[in-house]
Chain A
């Protein structure tokens, strides 16, 4: 079953293609009609790349016709296998020709920003944080795409903790995931030793901000100081953490 085949070789290099004898029109029609379902199924496999199904089905159907015209049964290759390779090759070429890769990475970033707005709106409407399913519905994206956008969004974040501190950023405020260098699980793994070195009140404020996801104003109300003071405390605590983590990493080398 193992086949050492090239990725997307396209029709010209496929073993089944040759100066294929032309089928009579009725047989050709029959072969096309009986494989339209295959074209449809393959088109659906590419739906998550953001193109309308109708367009994909059209590309797949044209590719099916090509594969019927290029197929040479005397080569002993199964038609469905040949057609599948041709159709997938054409679908991939379609995305490539449309500059899909560039648009896709832009789409992820746009969806991430869109999720921020949708989260804010839904928090107001629902009186609680939205679920991924609700965010998916609000942004007209699949749940998988929403999860990926949240995850990928972490890679497109400003590096400064202080610069990204914003009271009105819904994702930052509600998901607690855009607060800078220390928000990923990986980063948090480094935090333990550094955190233990901070005064208890600063540890507590950091926990409220980054673990519980409270805004600076909410922390200020809880602790009984001004929001500006919370902001200053966070900045100074984070600076100490950076230094502490630097020492931890240096110690590991």
Chain B
């Protein structure tokens, strides 16, 4: 057996853009796996990041009319950390308020609290942006 995976170094950046559909969030997770493996994250951290990025995408989609929008995912390797920024572009704000959407977003944020070091969400210039940062080697136990 030989491991042929090439490492990503601090400063390396990967960007992915795809139609803002829930069934395509799998693409974000797959890219996250590949990037975190190459950035030296162990398998548990990798799974945490993958789960967290799924939540990040969900969070970005909440409250938006994402029918015609795109999700743009940026993954930045920063020293011993990965920063993931998810932006919803070209989508309007939802015309109807969905109370369950608030609950979904709150759960996603709570899950992110438990899985990553930092995260945040903001709306700017008509686009929603959510981000997270996770260091490797950060197991508390």
Interface residues of A (CB under 8 A from B): 1-10, 13, 38, 41-42, 45-46, 48-49, 80-81, 84-85, 88-89, 92-93, 95-96, 100-101, 104-105, 143-144, 147-148, 151, 154-159, 184, 186
Chain B nearest CB, measured from A90 CB (Å): 11
Our pick among B5, B47, B109, B120 for the contact of A49 (Cβ within 8 Å) is: B47
CB atoms of A144 and B140 under 8 A apart:
no
Candidate in A7, A10, A85, A186 with the most chain B CB atoms within 10 angstroms? A7
List 8 A-B pairs, Cβ < 8 Å.
A7-B48, A8-B141, A9-B140, A101-B44, A104-B47, A155-B5, A156-B3, A158-B2
CB atoms of B111 and A10 under 8 A apart:
no
CB atoms of B139 and A8 under 8 A apart:
yes
Q: Chain B interface: which size bin? A: 35 or more
CB atoms of B1 and A156 under 8 A apart:
yes
Our pick among B34, B48, B117, B121 for the contact of A4 (Cβ within 8 Å) is: B117
Among residues of A, the one whose C-beta sits closest to the C-beta of B116 is: A7
Chain A nearest CB, measured from B57 CB (Å): 13
CB atoms of B4 and A155 under 8 A apart:
yes
Candidate in B30, B114, B118 with the most chain A CB atoms within 10 angstroms? B114
CB atoms of B113 and A5 under 8 A apart:
yes
CB atoms of A7 and B113 under 8 A apart:
no
CB atoms of B26 and A7 under 8 A apart:
no
CB atoms of A147 and B2 under 8 A apart:
no
CB atoms of B138 and A6 under 8 A apart:
yes
Chain B nearest CB, measured from A11 CB (Å): 11
Rounded to whole angstroms, the CA-CA distance of A45 and B109 in the bound complex is: 14
CB atoms of A2 and B141 under 8 A apart:
no
Chain A nearest CB, measured from B58 CB (Å): 11
Rounded to whole angstroms, the CA-CA distance of A96 and B43 in the bound complex is: 11
Q: A1-B119, A2-B120, A8-B139 are in contact. Are A148 and B30 (CB under 8 A)?
A: yes
CB atoms of B140 and A8 under 8 A apart:
yes
CB atoms of B117 and A45 under 8 A apart:
no
Question: Which residues in A have their C-beta under 8 angstroms from that of B107?
Answer: 38, 41, 80, 84
Given contacts A7-B140, A155-B2, A157-B4, 16 further A-B contacts (CB under 8 A): A1-B119, A3-B113, A6-B140, A7-B48, A7-B138, A80-B110, A81-B110, A92-B48, A96-B141, A101-B42, A143-B26, A147-B30, A151-B30, A154-B4, A155-B3, A157-B2
Rounded to whole angstroms, the CA-CA distance of A200 and B8 in the bound complex is: 37
CB atoms of A144 and B26 under 8 A apart:
yes
